[in-house]
Structures are given as structure tokens and as C-alpha cells.
Amino acid sequence: MALEAIRYKNGNLEVLDQLLLPDETKYIQVKGTKDGWNVIKKMQVRGAPAIGIVGILSLAVELHCKFFNSLDELGEYVTEQLTYLVTARPTAVNMADFRDKLCVQLSEWSNEANSTVNGVTQKMLAEIESQLEYDINTNKTMARYGADHIIKHYKGKSVKVLTHCNTGSLATAGFGTALGVVRELYSRGCLLHCYCTETRPYNQGSRLTAYELVHDKIPATLICDSMAAVLMKDKAITAVVVGADCVVANGDTANKVGTYQLAIISHYHSVPFYVVAPSTSIDLDRDTGAEIVIEERPPDEMTTLKGISIAAKGISVWNPAFDITPASLITGGIVTEFGVFKPDELKDRLTTTLQKKSE
């Protein structure tokens, strides 16, 4: 059975409660944007692509049953709700990307001759609902590009990869970004082993990535984040593959905290470091990583485990959810659905590709 973080059909949305995994499989019904905002904020659903998709689908749930008197009223409501959804988690750029694109489309459709409230609503719904399939296809394309690149780099020899956080079916509409590359390498018989970090403080690696790897019977081993350097020294890791919450124009990349230290360690050990990110996670309007807002999470996500205190009471806590890996450390490349780019060619290559696509 495929792992499904998001279930959606005809205005009915359910998300797998990832806070309960791996012990319990329970879906939560999302009845509108308020619920959507809450499941994203609480991290019952997480991962940049999944955050964006659940956000817009929660709006689709409302569009299925809400009535609007005019195109202006529809436009105002949609813009307001999309903007509200962006505030749930500020670093992952996918939700903001959907807001920007949907608002442009909405105004284009509304300005067409003979446009009606119902007609525009249906177009909006079709666009939102198509994103589930689009995301899975995008992930599979990136997986092929990423696997090709790694296999070529190692001249066809089998590889041992290290990944961080969770970037698989649970973080996307399905298949995954960096974990999609791992799945592809495995299905081609080119993966010797996958190592995944525990990913403190919230353990997306030990709870979710390990769960996906066991589910798919991929040969894999869990390590604590602090073991990454010795792993690279002793276990001949051949590539590091991670996802992204936001890649900016110069290639600087925000991803789960701990990614930056993995990139430094990879550089020291001459291990190629890959970021796997769909174009919806890339923001070319920001020049460098200094412009990315890093979300800070509540202290208890670090000081407690399943409600049990694991830190001295009274200690102060700093809990940034992400860090920024400078482009210079992304030595393997940035894998997108349009190919694998070196960070310094990302802006030009992506701009040209997106321009051609829109012509």
C-alpha cells in the first residue's frame, strides 16, 4: 500500500496525522482553511510541498460549498485565505508560490469576457486539484534526473547515500524529493545503502524517513545527527541528498536545521552534496539566503519527547527549524524537474526554462 499523507476527493480532505507516526495511522478531516492552517502549524502535516498542497486544498474544500455574490467577493475571499495560509509556516516557500500564481490566474480568469462566479470557481478548483498529480509527476522527474546524475558521477557503481529530515511521500503528494532520488536509485539496483539522520529536535528522520524506508524495504540505517562526520569518514558515503524549504536565486538553500553542518562535513570529505527541490520551492525574487525568514519553533519541541521532559527545567532554548546552506557547499547540484543545475547557473537556466514553458 502506498504511503499517503494527503487524501482528497471532491471537496473532502484528510491528512495523515504525522505527529502520531510511526505508532499510529490516523487521518484528520480538514474542513476548511482554518483547519488547514492548524494542521500545518502543528506539523500534523509538514514538508514544504505538502504544506503548500494541503493549504490550497483546504481552500478547495471551502470553494466546493461556499457561495459568492460577485467575482470581486470571490477574489477578495480567495486572496485573503491564501495569504492567511502562508502565515502558518513562514520558511517553506511553496504555499506563498501557490498564493502568488493563483492570485494572478484568478484575476486573469475574472477579466475574461463573459466570466462568471461559477465559471471562475470551477477553473480555480480544477487548478488546485490538479496539483496532487502534478507534484507526484514532478517528484518522479526529479528522481530520474537526480539518480542519473549520481550514477554518472560514480560511473555506474552502486552508491551509499545519506539523507536528512523527511522528504518522502509524507512530505509531498507522493514519492518524494530527495527520498524520491533514493527510491529511484534503489529501483534501478544502484543503491547499496541509505543512511538517514534522526533529525533532532523533531525526529522527522527517525519517525518518518525511517518509516518510509522500512515500508519500502530499502536497505537503510538510522544515525544520530552527531554521527554524520564519523559516518562519512568510516562508511564511504558517496552522496548526500536533501530537500529544501526555499532555494533563492544564488542557490543558497534553507532546509531542516542540521543541513548546513552536513554540507560542511560533506565538503571536508569531498562527498557531493545535492539539494532536490521542485521549482515551487525556488524563489528567484530573493537574491541570497540572508533574505529568508527562519521559523523558530516552541521550546517544548526540543525539551520534551512524547510529553516527557528530557532537559533540565529552567534552561533557555533556541529552536530554529531551518538553517541556510550557502550555495558554495552545494557541490553536487540542485536537482529540479527541469534538470540538475549548479547553484551559479540556477537563476539563468530556470528563468529561461520557465519562460519557454509559458510561451
Q: Which residues are catalytic?
A: 245
Determine the Cα–Cα distance for residues 343 and 335; give it in Å rounded to an integer: 10
Cβ atoms within 10 A of the Cβ of 353, count? 16
Residue whose C-alpha cell is 538553517:
323
Classify strands 12-16 and 27-30 as parallel, antiparallel or unpaired: antiparallel
Shorter beta-carbon distance to ligand MRU: residue 165 or 196: 165
Amino acid letter at 26?
K
Q: Is-contact 163 242, C-beta < 8 A?
A: yes
Helix pair angle (117-129, 94-111), 10° resolution: 150
Cα angle: 141, vertex 18, 57; to 5 degrees: 60
Name the site residues for ligand MRU (rule: CB under 6 A).
Answer: 46-49, 92, 165, 167, 171-172, 177, 204, 243-245, 255-256, 321
Interacting residues of 298 by C-beta distance below 8 A, sequence separation 6+: 319
Q: Is-contact 91 245, C-beta < 8 A?
A: yes
Q: Is-contact 62 81, C-beta < 8 A?
A: yes
Shorter beta-carbon distance to ligand MRU: residue 124 or 262: 262
* 113 CB burial (10 A radius; 0-12, 13-18, 19+): exposed
